[in-house]
Chain A
Amino acid sequence: MNSGITLEIPAKAEYLSLVRAVVVSAAALDPAFENQRLEDLRLAVSEATTNAIRSHANLGSEERITIRCGLTSDRIEVEVQDRGPGFNPEKITPSGSLDEPGRLNYEGGFGIPLMRVLADEIKINSADEGTTVQLVVYTPPSNDNS
């Protein structure tokens, strides 16, 4: 992602609404994004940033969380990078679909499954030195086939 917007925030929940507002405002610059897709993006970015903030809980440092977003002709790409201890996304995600009744025994654990549903593409790269979540949401295909 060579161009776009970069935000660096303290790992504090108070900054979540700012991140949501900036990323959705950036996406809204492209009128091709429908409101529902903007809402999907808002939620997916919130989930990724929430996880990043949580990962810094025991860090005890001033390390910041970086959010980059870039708009291209057919998509918005958002990258959320933290410096917290990594994790295995497959291991912490409860198996099965979101609508299994047993899921309601969990008050958490919805974040990554929701991101997978809401974004068109998601990549999670996690290592000991931090985690990067990349989200891609495409604009709808043009109906102009002429």
Chain B
Amino acid sequence: MLGITEQFRDKWVLLQISGEIDMATGPELRQRIVQYVQEGHLHIILDLAKVDFIDSTGLGVLIGGLKRTRSHGGDLQCIGLSESLKEMFKLTGLDAVLTEKDV
């Protein structure tokens, strides 16, 4: 199960994600990001504080979103990273490019 709620703050779209991001739910998040970029919302914040689990398929969605927004002159950042999620970002090298936004 994946929950996604949106808020618009200045130029940023804040997406609060809850649940698990894996092969079953990742496509829904990917599609939402694609849709925002198509609509011209190029700056996206993902609040992952309520994400219970993310696997490499979920990380692939984040990487895809990051590349998609940046290729259009935007950006994708994350907030609410748990310690285990930070560790996973480190393991996969994501911490070098996917920054944690200060809010």
Interface residues of A, Cβ cutoff 8 Å to B: 13-14, 16-17, 20, 36, 39, 42-43, 46-47, 50, 53-54, 98-101, 103-104, 106-108, 110-111, 114, 117
Q: Is the CB of A99 within 8 A of B96?
A: yes
A14-B24, A16-B24, A17-B20 known; A42 and B93 CB under 8 Å? no
Interface residues of B, Cβ cutoff 8 Å to A: 20, 22-24, 53, 55-57, 59-61, 63-64, 67, 84, 88, 90-94, 96-97
4 more contacts with CB within 8 A, not counting A50-B56, A100-B93, are A13-B23, A16-B24, A98-B92, A110-B59
Give every chain A residue within 8 A of B63 (Cβ-Cβ). Answer: 104, 106-107
Q: Is the CB of A98 within 8 A of B64?
A: no
Give every chain A residue within 8 A of B22 (Cβ-Cβ). Answer: 13, 16-17, 46, 50
Q: List 20 A-B contacts (CB under 8 A).
A: A13-B22, A13-B23, A14-B24, A20-B53, A36-B84, A42-B53, A46-B55, A47-B56, A50-B22, A50-B57, A53-B23, A54-B23, A98-B93, A99-B93, A101-B93, A103-B93, A104-B94, A107-B60, A107-B64, A114-B56
Distance in Å from the Cβ of B83 to the closest Cβ of chain A? 9
Q: For the complex, give the distance between the alpha carbons of A46 and B58 in Å.
A: 11
Q: Is the CB of B23 within 8 A of A114?
A: no
Give every chain A residue within 8 A of B20 (Cβ-Cβ). Answer: 17
Contact of A50 among B53, B55, B61, B67 (CB under 8 A): B55
Q: Is the CB of B96 within 8 A of A114?
A: no
Q: For the complex, give the distance between the alpha carbons of A130 and B97 in Å.
A: 36
A46-B55, A47-B55 known; A101 and B96 CB under 8 Å? yes
A104-B63, A108-B56, A114-B56 known; A50 and B93 CB under 8 Å? no
